[in-house]
A and B are shown apart, each in its own frame.
Chain A
Amino acid sequence: MSVHSSISIIVMLIASLAAGIDIGGSAAGAPLQPGEEPLGESAFLEAFIATRPPGPATSVVAHDVPGDGGRQIAISWTRSRDDGAGDDDVVGYDILRSTQPGRGYLLIDEVPPGVESYVDTTATDGTTYYYIVRAKDDMQTVDSEPSGPAASRANWFRTRRLNMFIILVLFFSFVLTYIAQARRGKELFVRRIPGLTAVEEAIGRATEMGKPVLYVPGIGEIDNIMTVASLSILTHVAKITARYESPLLVPTARAVVMSAAEEVVKEAYLSVGKPDAYNPDNIRYLSDAQFAFAAAVNGIMLRERPAANLYMGAFWAESLLLAETGFEAGAIQVAGTAMVSQLPFFITACDYTLIGEELYAASAYLSREPKLLGSLKGSDLGKAFVMVAIIVGVIMETAVAFGVAPLTAIADIFRNFFYVAGQ
């Protein structure tokens, strides 16, 4: 027992006496009144336990978390003898940290009773820390001995994400293999996507009517994969409009997307030998603000009256505003997005809709570009892998649920292979 604890017990005894607790007597030493029972030994013990400090946490160890991105130190300890046993009155532990041994400890967090580890995620890499675990009951606290020094550092490889690494390597090997095959000239089959035929029909109709084609590449940034796919489809659309000499209007909500769209349309016009038909004023930046952009595009639809509206890319709440206005204006409309929440609106208000991955497949289908075709075929193989994994996993889990015990360990390993730790 530490000196601190001994002194505490003495103080508590004095306090209990001062409060009038008397073994075999009454409060404040007054004589017993008729019918009054003397305080028993158990009452004294209860009072004593209530005032006795908890046992300290012991064996406090701190070390850098291995295989992480840094800034994390793991602390472990053996819980107080009064946590789940003994007086069983520990209500939790405070975690204290200092950069100097023996002083300057500051509270960084607290954990409930029964816990024997903690990960400090606020460490600065390269700084040495010392930790104390403070056991506490309702009245008092007791500090552990300080831990040894520990410093966090970033590791080159996150071992807890090894499964993610394996899966990514597998996926990219599929993609690269198919890209190599496409580059060697192998014909890679991609099924026909009905919505794409509609794109050509819509542009043809606009040409017949002598009206422009409106292409909205969404309101996502250039880093959004849907925007990238949309620009790829824009290349195809721009080639057709260049051939037909139909005006192509491309309103954008992001400055960088406008720059990229300018490049794409200009090159498309060049590639079909119609550079003079390219009009840079038709590629417009309207606004970064979602509804200001929607209001401006609605205005274009009603004033310039495009006969074909193509919405391809990332859309949010403005999707229905655009598609409904286009419908009212009588334009033929084709949409494509992977935004699940907006697909219902496009499906209801447009003539054709490319659903989810069809948007990405469309860019590969149209361009026949080896990189895109390889990516599409590689992702197909990835999907086949995922489907097989799900079916195998479900069969094993179902067998375990029906009492096939020998499969339990294998099922757990297989399922956990697809679990990726957050940090």
Chain B
Amino acid sequence: MNEVSLWTGFWPFTPERFAIWVGAILTLCIYSFLYRDNPFYKFAEHLLVGVSAGYWALIYWNANIVGQLLVPVLRGGVLLPLVPGVLGLLMFTRFFPRFAWISRYAIAFYVGGYAGLAIPSYMQARVLAQVHAAMAPTVSITAALLLIGLICSLLYFFFSREHKGVLGGASRIGIWFLMVGFGASFGYTVMARVSLLIGRMQFLFRDWLGLIR
């Protein structure tokens, strides 16, 4: 890094250039946490929390209140969105301790409705589809290992019996299979995180400092 590249990276002063500088300085503020907690990190942290609160408030307002309630009701004449609209209003009763219990109806409706929608989907995608795929002929060592790993892992999550004897042995094999799987997943995810770091470094060294092309 040298002064010339910094200066040329700052001039001419355009909105895009200004945004890059703000982004770069905030990135460095957040990275300063790697050393220790400090005022720069605190500043970036509070700014991030505040900006994101405002950002998400607007997103929710536009996507949910305007997009799914006001527009369909006022412009489309559809009355059904009024039902969730009223349930949403019930959440505001939390501000009045005497009537706060009313908000539980909205939460109950939300959780119950979602459970009804989600259970068949979960059962299909995470149970039946897996069972269907698992029923393959075991004609190779790989297939046999897959079957043993599957059954032993399922046995590890069997809570109705103490894990002793045969069940204990099988569940121990199951946890080994799980740990091998987690190890592979760990490596895979770390690679993804490293690519995120590379992206940020590219932002700093290419977009901000112009040191790489």
Contacts and interface: CB of A to CB of B under 8 A. Distances in A.
Given A168-B119, A347-B182, A420 B124 contact: yes
A303 B45 CA distance: 13
Contact of B157 (A171, A357, A396): A357
B56 A288 contact: yes
Contact of B45 (A168, A295, A376, A390): A295
Contacts, number: 169
A289 B44 CA distance: 14
Contact of B37 (A171, A302, A419): A302
Interface stretch (A4-12, A80-88, A139-147, A338-346): A338-346
B37 A387 contact: no
B131 A418 contact: yes
Interface string B170-206: 0000000011011101100100010000000000000
Interface in B11-61: 30, 33, 37, 41-42, 44-45, 48-49, 51-53, 55-56
Contacts of B55: 289
B105 to A, nearest CB: 13
A380 B158 CA distance: 6
Interface in A340-370: 340-341, 343-345, 347-348, 355-358, 361, 365
B135 A343 contact: no
A287 B132 CA distance: 41
A287 B114 contact: no
B138 A223 contact: no
B211 interface: no
B110 A223 contact: yes
B48 A291 contact: yes
B83 interface: no
Nearest to B127: A386
Given A164-B123, A223-B111, A295-B49, A259 B131 contact: no
B185 A289 contact: no
Given A222-B107, A287-B53, A292-B48, A383 B158 contact: yes
Contacts of B104: 263
B135 A401 contact: no
B157 A356 contact: yes
Contacts of A168: 119-120, 123
Nearest to B94: A259
Interface string B89-109: 001001000000001100100
Contact of A299 (B42, B185, B193): B42
A377 interface: yes
A348 B187 CA distance: 12
Given A289-B55, A398-B137, A420 B128 contact: yes
A402 B140 CA distance: 12
A376 B40 CA distance: 48
B154 interface: yes
Interface stretch (B2-10, B69-77, B159-167): B159-167
Interface string B126-146: 011101101111110000000
B147 interface: yes
Contacts of A287: 48-49, 52-53, 56
B118 interface: yes
Contacts of A103: none
Interface string A114-156: 0000000000000000000000000000000000000000000
Given A222-B110, A418-B131, A295 B30 contact: yes
A289 B147 contact: no
B66 interface: no
Contact of B137 (A167, A303, A394): A394
A383 B49 contact: no
B49 A292 contact: yes
B186 A390 contact: no
B114 A223 contact: yes
Contact of B132 (A161, A299, A384, A418): A418
A347 B182 CA distance: 9
B82 interface: no
B49 A286 contact: yes
Given A260-B107, A295-B49, A296-B49, A391 B151 contact: yes
Interface string A161-185: 1011001100100000000000000
B45 A191 contact: no
A390 B135 contact: yes
Nearest to A414: B135
A3 B176 CA distance: 75
B150 interface: yes
B123 A167 contact: yes
A189 B161 CA distance: 7
> In this complex, which of B45, B138, B160, B163 has the most chain A Cβ atoms within 10 angstroms of its Cβ?
B160
A39 interface: no
A397 interface: yes
**In the complex, the 8 A-B pairs of residues with the closest C-beta atoms, listed nearest first:** A393-B135, A289-B52, A401-B137, A344-B186, A223-B114, A292-B52, A288-B56, A344-B182
Given A163-B128, A223-B111, 6 more contacts: A256-B110, A289-B49, A289-B55, A380-B159, A398-B138, A414-B135
12 contacts: A164-B128, A168-B120, A223-B115, A296-B48, A299-B45, A348-B186, A356-B157, A357-B157, A361-B159, A393-B134, A394-B137, A402-B139
